[in-house]
Structure 1
Amino acid sequence: MPTEGVTGANKGIGYEIVKALCQRYNGHVYLTARNAIKGNAAACKLRKLGLYPIFHQLDIGDEESIKKFRDYITKHEGGIDLLFNNAGVSFNECTQAYAKEAENVINVNYFGTLHAVEILGPILRYGARIINTSSFFGHLSNIPSSSLRNRLAARSLTVDGLCHLMNEYLSDVRNGVHVTKGWGDSPYTVSKVGVAALTIVLQRMFDNDPEKRQISVNSVHPGYTQTDLTGNMGTYTAEEGARSALFAGLDAEGLRGQFVWDNLAIIDWYAATPPKSF
């Protein structure tokens, strides 16, 4: 039986991805969330609609939590066919603890996504698809420094090298020099650029591994969506915001290391400017 897992799925885009998977996909759909009460409530809400996701607690900011999910899936399902890395946090601009808040955003959005792929990677089945939720702000052009952009875009970049860059950013934040160093003033932007860069680096790794070259990994921009992350402001409903992830996970063929925009176009992550968002 095919198995799909969606992180950060108790509300918003993640919830709508689970809902659509239950409607369209013949398999076991795992709705995961950091908060067990909220996750179970979301699963119950879907069951009232005649849909039957399986809830499992998962906090991508906690490696032990990811390992518990991996062990459960290994025992009960044997593997994963679709992994939607949707969990993420925004940056609280009102906080006075800028450096601490920036560290949380990078740790969850970038390192949490990385750890989910690393820990769940061994149980990805042949032909599995990974879909990483990035953002409009995840386009490379949103990093002001051309030197940093070149380092992020380097064809020789490895996971270790990318992690070094993310930690370098956090060090610059702690020292109060991140803006002058050319990172910009948005930890959320840096985290989502990191996710998009990670997507490309991971695909390169998979392509060079005979045992994993059938696995694809792509990132998506949901669009300006009405969720808690945007203060419920936005052009799209959460259901509409799930379209790009579902397209990459279910509909598109042959995508490998690509960035799917909110209009379902495949865009050039390296371009000098991002395309317009619809």
Structure 2
Amino acid sequence: MSLKVAVVTGANKGIGFAIVRGLCKRFDGAVYLTSRDEKRGRDAVAALENEGLHPKYHQLDITDPQSLKAFHDYIKEKYGHIDILVNNAAIYLENNATEPVAVKAEETLRVNYFSVLSTCEILFPLLRNGARVVNISSSYGHLSFIPSEKLRQKFQDPNLTVSELSDLMNQYIAAAKQGTQSKEWGNSPYAVSKVGLTALTKIHQRLLNDRDIKVNAVYPGYVNTDMSSHMGPLSIDEGAQAPLFLALDAPDSVKGEYVWFDKRIVSWAGQIPEENY
């Protein structure tokens, strides 16, 4: 059997870094730490090597189709396949009050939804039958963060297509530019982006069911990272536990789900659970 391959995006720090660390300890195959900034990525690899671990490195900017294509071609030529893909790269602009909501909306969705979609479109052809895809979502990815019942119904539509979902994301950006987003979409571009990612997870699962590929979204918990302004109570290694569970240990029956940091499968459209750390 050819060597297995795992890929983690946005992995030079935070939860992505800890996921690489966990994979290096347990995954029998090549583990790729990828990052937009090559120096930071190589420094992260060096830090893990100092722990006696052996990740591999490749530059990858998920917002750049050429970078995605170059990475696709490299993996295809060297291995021919991917067995685990962790879509971790994301941004959070909520606390930067200097930017108008229209700018936040467009940039947040560009990275957290549309660039992850591009990553999937370019890298999914490399997924081997039986592969696992883990999308790092958020508690804000719960459908209850969308105020409009009509919109929530659209997101839940079992026949929703990727193009229809992308249209919804663009409708939100247009509403934010007009200043009319609050009533139907709420006031958090980050929440809309992660609801979109969770919806995309469910669509991709439907499309990949016949290949035994598992696609799940996970809220890793409130983790002490730059993204949380270091307010979260969980360490990055604790935040990596649920993503690693989905990548390595979850039963094959767990697919197309929205999973929380304590490995519970949560109803995406039901009541949002309390966070008990």
User: Could you tell me the TM-score, scaled by structure 2's length?
Assistant: 0.96
- Provide the secondary structure at the position in 1 that maps to 2:58: strand
Cα distance in 1 between the residues matched to 2:131 and 2:67? 22
Name stretches of at least 5 consecutive residues in structure 1 with no aligned partner: none
Cα distance in 2 between the residues matched to 1:135 and 1:200? 15
Q: Is the 8 A contact 2:6 2:83 kept in 1?
A: yes
- Provide the secondary structure at the position in 1 that maps to 2:227: helix
Mapping of residues 54-69 of structure 1, within 5 Å: 54-69=56-71
Q: Is the 8 A contact 2:83 2:130 kept in 1?
A: yes
Cα distance in 2 between the residues matched to 1:81 and 1:206? 14
- Residue 265 of structure 1 corresponds to which residue in structure 2? 264
Cα distance in 1 between the residues matched to 2:89 and 2:58? 14
- Residue 124 of structure 1 corresponds to which residue in structure 2? 127
- Provide the secondary structure at the position in 2 that maps to 1:230: coil
Q: Is the 8 A contact 2:94 2:190 kept in 1?
A: no
Greater than 2 Å deviation, 4+ residue runs: 95-98
Give 2:167's aligned amino acid.
H
User: Could you tell me the TM-score, scaled by structure 1's length?
Assistant: 0.96
Say yes or no: does 1:47 pair with 2:46: no
Deviation for aligned residue 1:277: 1.7
Give 2:263's aligned amino acid.
L
- Provide the secondary structure at the position in 2 that maps to 1:40: helix
Aligned pair partner of 2:81 in 79, 82, 102 = 79
- Provide the secondary structure at the position in 2 that maps to 1:127: strand
- Residue 237 of structure 2 corresponds to which residue in structure 1? 239
- Residue 17 of structure 1 corresponds to which residue in structure 2? 19
Q: Is the 8 A contact 2:135 2:197 kept in 1?
A: yes
Aligned pair partner of 1:219 in 200, 217, 236 = 217
Aligned pair partner of 2:162 in 153, 159, 170 = 159
Say yes or no: does 1:188 pair with 2:190: yes
Aligned pair partner of 1:229 in 218, 227, 231 = 227
Deviation for aligned residue 1:90: 0.3
Deviation for aligned residue 1:267: 1.0
Give 1:107's aligned amino acid.
R
Cα distance in 2 between the residues matched to 1:61 and 1:102? 15
Cα distance in 2 between the residues matched to 1:214 and 1:252? 14
Q: 1:140-159: CA deviations, max 9, x gaps? A: 11111111101111111000
Q: 1:28-72: CA deviations, max 9, x gaps? A: 000000110100000011111111111111111111111111000
Cα distance in 2 between the residues matched to 1:92 and 1:206? 33
Cα distance in 1 between the residues matched to 2:162 and 2:112? 15
- Residue 117 of structure 2 corresponds to which residue in structure 1? 114
Q: Is the 8 A contact 1:262 1:277 kept in 2?
A: no
Give 2:66's aligned amino acid.
E
Name stretches of at least 5 consecutive residues in structure 2 with no aligned partner: none
Q: Is the 8 A contact 2:94 2:188 kept in 1?
A: no
Q: Is the 8 A contact 1:95 1:101 kept in 2?
A: no
Give 2:250's aligned amino acid.
A
- Provide the secondary structure at the position in 2 that maps to 1:228: coil
Cα distance in 2 between the residues matched to 1:98 and 1:155? 30
Q: Give the aligned CA root-mean-square deviation in angstroms.
A: 0.9
Aligned pair partner of 2:201 in 199, 205, 209 = 199
Give 2:189's aligned amino acid.
P
- Residue 253 of structure 1 corresponds to which residue in structure 2? 251
Give 1:67's aligned amino acid.
K
Give 1:50's aligned amino acid.
G
Q: 1:222-277: CA deviations, max 9, x gaps? A: 11100000001112011101111001110101211011111111111121x21112
Cα distance in 2 between the residues matched to 1:183 and 1:2? 41
- Residue 140 of structure 2 corresponds to which residue in structure 1? 137
